[in-house]
Amino acid sequence: MPHKLLFVCLGNICRSPSAENIMNHLIDQADLSEHILCDSAGTSSYHIGSPPDRRMSVAAATKLGIKLRGHARQFQKSDFHDFDMILAMDRDNYQDILALDPKEQYHNKVYLMCEFCSRHTLKEVPDPYYGGVEGFNQVIDLLVDACEGLLQYIISQHLTDKIGEL
- Reading phi first (left if > 0) and then psi (alpha if -120 to 50, else beta), residue 37 is in beta
pLDDT digits (tens, 9 = 90+) for 42-61: 999 999 999 999 999 999 99
Q: Which of 9, 38, 117, 147 is catalytic?
A: 9
pLDDT value of position 163 = 57
* Parts of the chain with a pLDDT under 70: 161-166
Is 15 a catalytic site residue? yes
What confidence score (pLDDT) does residue 160 get? 73
Q: State pLDDT tens for residues 73-89.
A: 999 999 999 999 999 99
Question: Which among 100, 104, 48, 51 has a CA at the least distance from the CA of 79?
Answer: 100
Sheet-wide strand order for 3-9: 36-42, 3-9, 85-88, 110-112
**Residue 73 and residue 79: Cα distance in Å, rounded?**
11
Tell me the whole-structure pTM to 2 decimals.
0.95
> Is-catalytic flag, 161?
no
User: Is 117 tagged catalytic?
Assistant: no
Q: How far apart are the C-alpha atoms of 12 and 74, rounded to whole Å?
A: 8
- Spot the catalytic one: 53, 79, 90, 127: 127
